[in-house]
Amino acid sequence: MRVKLKQYIYQSILRRTLFLVMTCLVLVGSIISIAGIVNANHEVEEIFDARLSQQARTLRTLVTGSIINDLNLSQRKNFLDVIENSLNNKTDSSTEPHEYEHKVYFEIKVNGENWIGSSHALISDLSNSKQGFSYVESHDKSWRTYHLISKIDGRDISVLVAEREDIRNEMVEYIVLQTVIPQVISLPILAFLLMLAIKRGLSPIAALANEISNRNPKKLEPVQISPLPDELEPIQNKLNDLLFNIDDMMAREQRFISDAAHELRTPLAVLKIHAQNAIQIDDLADKEKALNELEQGVDRSARIVAQLLTLARLEQGKPVKDEKVAETIHLARHSRQCLAELIPLANKKSIEITLDVEESDNWTLTISEGIFDILMQNLISNAIKHSHQCGSIDVILTQTDTHYSVKVQDHGVGVQGTGGAASIKHRLIERFYRDGSQAGAGLGLSIVHNIIEKLNGDLLFTDTFGGGLTVELVLPIK
């Protein structure tokens, strides 16, 4: 039961806060009440003691005057009645006795003899109380006494005034009840008002929860609540960061699917050509050659898929295990191999591909072989797509002290519009952008641009002299 109650309280911020606030209020209120009761008890003691002292001194003054006037027994009796009525607040004999009448006691002695005293039976235990204030137990009751002893005109005058302790206790109990009962009654009211106030204070959390509930995979825009409390601002910022990361991750996944579909289109087209050649050729030697090329094309397609997965993992900032991300290749030699594999695709449009390489012994480049294949495949297939039937494509490799340059020139329709290719570079590298009526998804140059950025290189676009587009890869040597 205790565990369930604790769970019920702490499962709600409202209930938890209300419980903690009320606990603190009750605790502080109890401490203040106890301190007030202790102080009230002390003050009641002081007031009642002061009254006892005042009564004793008043009696002594009256007795002194009576002794001086030498009253007889009858006069003493009348004097006693006046004093008793005064001490017990009785002004008329017909009035009902006061409830405290038998709880107050006084006694006056002159030279050790009882001179006058309370009308009820004398309590010998009180007569023996010491001078000043003291507590005396008599007849199972506790009395507070004040004993005043003085010497006047050669006579020893003893004035004893006593009061039952329960008179004081009743007064303290009354004060306690008057203090505690309003507090106890006010607790439910205070709890209700606090609940409303806390619920109002927690309303921004409810607004934040409502905003979050309205988000879905197709709607991941940032959460914006205004005005937002300072305590919730870090939560909103972290939540928006998370939503941004999720949206970015989903975009990367979609981009990977698009890239994979795009990148596999060209290898599959080449594979189809090799397969058709293997079927149509009767000569065994040529058929074996076609099958070998088909096998190489399958390996190349598998390598491209692996590199796409590697790129996707690198883009997400994840470590790539068991993947050869970077290796040393011979740029000129590997370019020839890439062009040779794409010749069947160019032959379908009777396009001639030429490779122009500067004479140099140093064509070493640190790059993944598969990544370079993706670059060349996209540039060449893009050039073939936009070249005329029976056209030509020129691939030019140059180098400087700091970088290599790979230019792919086609002599097709080029970029439509004014300003040339350089003026719309930002459009050419957009995903799904297609210039003119050519078929395709418009992903090739966007993929190339993303790879070049990761290699800290550059991608340049210029118009080919006489018509067409020249795309240049600038790859840093180091």
User: What single-letter amino acid sits at 308?
Assistant: L
Query: How big is the chain, counted in residues?
Result: 478
Per-residue model confidence (pLDDT) at position 472: 93
Per-residue model confidence (pLDDT) at position 395: 94
Listed in sequence order, the residues at least 6 apart from 204 whose beta carbon sits closer than 8 Å to its beta carbon are: 225, 228, 229, 232
Q: How far is CA 331 from CA 301, 367, 369, 405, 444, in A?
A: 20, 9, 10, 10, 21
Per-residue model confidence (pLDDT) at position 355: 92
**Domain map of the chain by residue range?**
2-187, 326-478
Q: By C-alpha distance, which of 397, 432, 396, 392 is closest to 412?
A: 392
Q: By C-alpha distance, which of 249, 250, 232 is closest to 224?
A: 232
What is the rounded CA–CA span in Å between residue 293 and residue 450? 30
Asked if 472 contacts 460 with a C-beta cutoff of 8 angstroms, the reply is: yes
Asked if 369 contacts 328 with a C-beta cutoff of 8 angstroms, the reply is: no
Per-residue model confidence (pLDDT) at position 367: 86
What is the rounded CA–CA span in Å between residue 405 and residue 474? 5
What is the rounded CA–CA span in Å between residue 369 and residue 325? 9
pTM for this prediction: 0.46
Instruction: Give the three-state DSSP class for 472.
Output: strand
Task: Return the residue matching tokens 């006084």.
Answer: 106
CATH topology for 326-478?
Answer: Heat Shock Protein 90 (3.30.565)
Per-residue model confidence (pLDDT) at position 475: 92
pLDDT in tens, the chain (478 residues): 667 777 777 778 888 888 888 889 889 888 888 888 888 888 888 888 898 888 888 888 877 766 655 666 666 667 666 666 665 555 555 555 555 555 777 888 888 777 777 755 455 666 667 888 888 887 778 888 888 888 877 788 888 888 888 888 888 888 888 888 888 888 889 889 988 988 888 888 888 888 888 877 777 778 877 777 888 888 888 888 888 888 877 777 777 776 667 667 777 787 888 788 788 887 888 888 878 878 877 877 776 676 566 666 656 655 444 445 567 888 998 899 889 888 888 888 899 999 998 777 688 888 888 788 888 988 998 888 888 899 999 999 999 889 999 999 998 877 765 555 555 655 676 654 545 444 443 456 777 888 888 888 999 988 888 888 899 999 998 7
Q: By C-alpha distance, which of 323, 365, 327, 345 is closest to 473?
A: 365
